[in-house]
Amino acid sequence: MRYFFVLILILYTFINWQIGRQIYELVKINKLVFWGIFIILALSPILGRFGVKGLDIIGNYWIVFFYYSIIVVFIGFFISSKQFIIGSYGLVLLLIIFGTVHATNIKVESYDVSIPKPGDDLNIVLLSDIHIDSAKRTGYVQKMVRDINYLQPDLVLLAGDIFDDRDHQALEREIETLRGIESKYGVYGVLGNHEYYGGNLDETIRIFSEANIITLRDEYIEVAGVNLIGRDDVSKKDRKKLEEIMTGMDKSKPIIVLDHQPVNLEEPKNNGVDLQLSGHTHKGQFFPNQFVTRKLYEVDHGYLAMDNLQVIVSSGYGTWGPPVRLGTQSEIVVVKVNFAN
């Protein structure tokens, strides 16, 4: 693992050097000034993650700039036209600006699902990958709560990566706002991989509890006539098997699983689950990553039916790292569940 990290760091350094050389040839300013600024920008994603204030936001944008600049550097090996290279970098900057604005445009994605078991029809609002952190814009959580309440949910489900930071004050500040979620049967959530990455998981869960979010960890609860199972994230090595969680459950009632990552779908299918709700993929977040997520997951976004199991995967309400979406959509999901009454 250590050698892999060193290899990635060497590759990242080499590509940044190529990008820096290409841009320097375009701007031709004082060499020391240019490389001083460029090195800070190139290191900003790393320094930002280690808590250097201000560089976290810069670093998030640098990730996208770096990503698309790789293409410009590659083109530069074959096309020497300075005007074309300048235009290419201009296009990268325009894409980042557009993607930043587009990421704030939250679409309501609706699904009608039928479950052939008795129960009262439910209006479920699903959000995944909210990624609350200190870099999020002011009013981000407040707007999310308004979006949820406008849909008048019977049940609100949060499919992991609700919080994404080591600074728990960023989450603590939102307790009162999160308490404003209006849901007939309450708010339930599961942990995602980023809750584990942040460290101090007990503190995260405590804050969720104070915000009236009930965290389900490899357990089930009966709510609104439904068996709701919340699974620990698959990144937790010792998470329970679904069969173990379902011990003693009345399987004649509808079974809904909330699981952050849409992996190993054979397990819920083989254990009689009616509906699984997931997130995690972001559908790649920015182009062309969606081609990768499409290969990695049986369903990286949208709806999939597998015999009696139905799966819905959200592309996420928020963004991870770069607040940019290109070719994907931020969304809040409405699942209208119809039972066999």
Per-residue model confidence (pLDDT) at position 200? 84
Same domain, 132 and 36: no
Q: What is the pLDDT along the chain (341 residues), one digit of tens a residue?
A: 677 888 888 999 999 999 999 999 998 889 999 999 999 999 999 888 776 777 888 999 999 999 999 999 999 989 889 999 999 999 999 999 999 999 999 999 999 999 999 999 999 999 999 999 888 888 999 999 999 999 999 999 999 999 987 788 889 999 999 999 999 999 999 999 999 887 789 999 999 999 999 999 999 999 999 999 999 999 888 899 999 999 999 999 999 999 999 999 999 999 999 999 999 999 999 999 999 999 999 999 999 999 999 999 999 999 998 999 999 999 999 999 999 87
- Nearest-angstrom CA–CA distance, 96 and 62: 10
Q: What is the residue range of 210's domain? A: 106-339
- Nearest-angstrom CA–CA distance, 271 and 304: 17
Per-residue model confidence (pLDDT) at position 1? 64
Same domain, 187 and 222: yes
Last residue in a domain, options 40, 73, 102: 102
Same domain, 257 and 114: yes
Enumerate residues 6+ apart whose C-beta is below 8 A from 157: 124, 125, 126, 127, 187, 188, 189, 228, 258, 277
Same domain, 214 and 68: no
Same domain, 145 and 11: no
Same domain, 236 and 277: yes
Same domain, 277 and 145: yes
Last residue in a domain, options 52, 67, 102: 102
Same domain, 50 and 123: no
Last residue in a domain, options 82, 102, 122: 102
Same domain, 194 and 233: yes
Same domain, 98 and 114: no
CA pseudo-torsion sign 265, 260, 140, 46 = negative
**pTM as predicted:** 0.92
Q: How many domains does the chain have?
A: 2
Per-residue model confidence (pLDDT) at position 57? 87
- Nearest-angstrom CA–CA distance, 288 and 41: 24
Same domain, 177 and 200: yes
Q: What is the CATH number of the domain that holds 311?
A: 3.60.21.10
Same domain, 74 and 139: no
Amino acid at residue number 5:
F
